[in-house]
Amino acid sequence: MKGIFKKIICLSLISFYFLKVEQVQSLVPYYYFPTIKNLQKESLSIGKNAYQLLYFGQYEQGLNLAKLAIKINNKDENLWLILAEAQVANKLYKKALDSLNNAQKINLNNSEIHFAKSNIYLKTLNLKNAKNALETGLKIDPNNYKAIFQLGNIFLMEKNYLEAIKLFERSVKIKPNFWQAINNQGLAYFEKKKYKFINKTF
């Protein structure tokens, strides 16, 4: 009788042991925590996808992806630049400037931030700020022929034809086959001559 009792106790203890282990395993599930490096890599991938959507004219979808990339990683100025571009595509100019200001806090010496700002100011016809942004960007990247060309266009709009001609010429020296600058240089010469002719007439 005592032997049977001992066997029952042993079986009970063994059963309890296995049940206990099973319960402990069910209470400790496995979680994967991505590293900061993995998150940054993922955010850049999302940012590239957002840029591609913008390129194909899917502006709203591009904006949503750019926002997601920033939520994952708000320490990369390039992601802020992509978000700003998406916001410009959706005509959210004020928000785009805010995004560029955030990018500038990360890296003040990124000329692309200043050039992107000038583009927004031009769209909103704020020529003074557009000019200032371009000039600041050109101090960092003095051989950016597109920025020089854009600055020439502002002087052309302001009827400062002589300065516009100089800038178009400077742009063509950097990129000789830049036909837009060559074309606008001719336009500036034409407007300058016309302006002088009108002044002589009156």
Q: How confident is the model over 74-106, as pLDDT tens digits?
A: 999 999 999 999 999 999 999 999 999 999 999
Dihedral angle over CA of 99, 105, 110, 116, nearest 10 = 20
Task: Please give the distance of CA 101 from its chain centroid, rounded to a whole number.
Answer: 11
Domain annotation covers residue 160: yes
* Cβ pair 63, 87 in contact under 8 A: yes
Tell me the torsion sign for CA atoms 114, 116, 121, 125. Answer: positive
Q: What percent of the chain has pLDDT over 70?
A: 78
Question: Where does a domain end: 65, 93, 126?
Answer: 126
Q: Which structure tokens are listed for 130? A: 């557009």
Task: Give CA separation, 75 vs 69, 92, 110, 140, 168, in Å.
Answer: 11, 22, 14, 21, 36
Question: Where does a domain end: 70, 93, 126?
Answer: 126
* Same domain assignment for residues 113 and 72: yes
Domain annotation covers residue 15: no
Identify the domain containing residue 202 by its residue range. 143-202
Number of domains into which the chain is organized: 2
Domain annotation covers residue 96: yes
* Same domain assignment for residues 111 and 72: yes
* Same domain assignment for residues 97 and 172: no
Domain CATH code at residue 194: 1.25.40.10
**What's this model's pTM, rounded to 2 decimal places?**
0.77
pLDDT digits (tens, 9 = 90+) for 12-67: 444 444 444 444 455 555 555 567 677 778 898 999 999 999 999 999 999 999 99
Domain annotation covers residue 24: no
Buried b (16+ CB within 10 A) or exposed e, 163-192: ebbbbbebbbeeeeebebbeebbebbeeeb
Domain annotation covers residue 110: yes
* Same domain assignment for residues 98 and 46: yes
* Same domain assignment for residues 158 and 189: yes
* Same domain assignment for residues 186 and 105: no
Domain annotation covers residue 107: yes
Q: Which amino acid is at 4?
A: I
Domain annotation covers residue 106: yes
* Same domain assignment for residues 151 and 85: no
> What pLDDT was estimated at residue 193?
81
* Cβ pair 137, 143 in contact under 8 A: no
Q: Which of 78, 77, 48, 81 is nearest to 65 (CA)?
A: 48
* Same domain assignment for residues 120 and 156: no
* Same domain assignment for residues 41 and 121: yes
* Same domain assignment for residues 46 and 99: yes
End-to-end CA distance of the chain: 132
Domain annotation covers residue 11: no
* Same domain assignment for residues 148 and 180: yes
> What pLDDT was estimated at residue 201?
45
Beta-carbon contacts of 16 under 8 Å, excluding residues fewer than 6 positions away, are: none
- The helix or strand, by DSSP H or E, that contains position 144, with its residue range, turns out to be none
Question: Where does a domain end: 126, 151, 173?
Answer: 126
* Same domain assignment for residues 196 and 152: yes
Q: Which of 157, 152, 188 is nearest to 171 (CA)?
A: 152
